[in-house]
Amino acid sequence: MTTAQGARERARNEVTAAIKEAARRQLAAEGAAKLSLRAVARELGMVSSALYRYFPSRDELLTALIIDAYDALGAAAEKARHAAGEAAPVDCFIAVCEAVRTWALTHPHEYALIYGSPVPGYAAPETTVPAAARTGVVLIGVFRDARQGPGLDELPLSAELRPEAARLAAEIAPDLPPEVAAAMVAAWAQLFGLVSFELFGQFNNVIEDRERFFRHAVTGLARGAGLR
């Protein structure tokens, strides 16, 4: 059952990988909206209908690319977190943020695929959730570690938001206090606001020294979330 049907399955996996690779190339060249099954097939020297043996629809292909993108970004974040090691929490946070930004700048179309406007009529299936969570988990880890040492300031939390924050903490990080969970999620969203603005051209004619500006903004983000 393993090596017996292996030959066929191996071939299938190889073709699947080749399709994804070609699609990714085309994604990088033209963007998600112009990803065409026919062009992918053309590049691989097969007929367009043959692709449907491997991906039941264009959306399924997109889903596969989305998962890969989430995973790649998550891996980059994890690597940065690991490299930062035992540095001060705020520096760990900044390191992860810069990894996210760097990955986004080197893979703009894949970033747009996962953090840009959702493709209309396309709802990301549950399959993408674990991959999507990886980057968030890294961020959670930074805050968790900060709480071990004295690297986390007290944070205000209005009575109004307390129930939601408690629910949120129970959901994503039961060992973190509600106010920390809330601050973290906010910082997470704001980080991607910075990256998206830079990537999507909103900083054109506004920010020149993007690198330094990002570092500055992200430092503020970290402090605002209680890290030091």
Partner DNA sequence: TCTAAAGCAAGAGCAGTGCTCTTTTTTGTG
Partner DNA sequence: CACAAAAAAGAGCACTGCTCTTGCTTTAGA
- Positions touching DNA (CB under 7 A) are 4-8, 11-12, 15, 35-39, 45-50, 52-54, 56-59
Measured on CA atoms in the order 39, 41, 46, 52, is the torsion positive or negative?
negative
Round to the nearest angstrom and report the end-to-end CA distance of the chain: 55
Q: Does 217 bind its own copies (CB under 8 A)?
A: yes
By a kind-dependent CB cut-off of 5 to 8 A, residue 17 interacts, out of DNA, its own copies, none, with none
The answer to whether 141 contacts its own copies (rule: CB under 8 A) is no
Query: Residue 31 and residue 15: Cα distance in Å, rounded?
Result: 22
Closest residue by Cα to residue 98 from 184, 181, 191: 191
Q: Is 18 helix (H, G, I), strand (E, B) or coil?
A: helix
Q: Please report, for the chain, how many H helices and E strands are present, in that order.
A: 9, 0
| Smallest separation (angstroms) from its own copies to the CB of 200 | 6
Q: Show the site string, 83-112: x = touches its own copies by CB under 8 A, - = not.
A: --------------------------x--x
In which residue are the tokens 């191996």 written?
10
Residues near its own copies (CB under 8 A) are 30-34, 109, 112-113, 115-121, 124, 129, 157-158, 160-161, 163-164, 167-168, 171-172, 182-183, 185-186, 188-194, 196-198, 200-203, 205-209, 212-213, 215-217, 220-221, 223-224
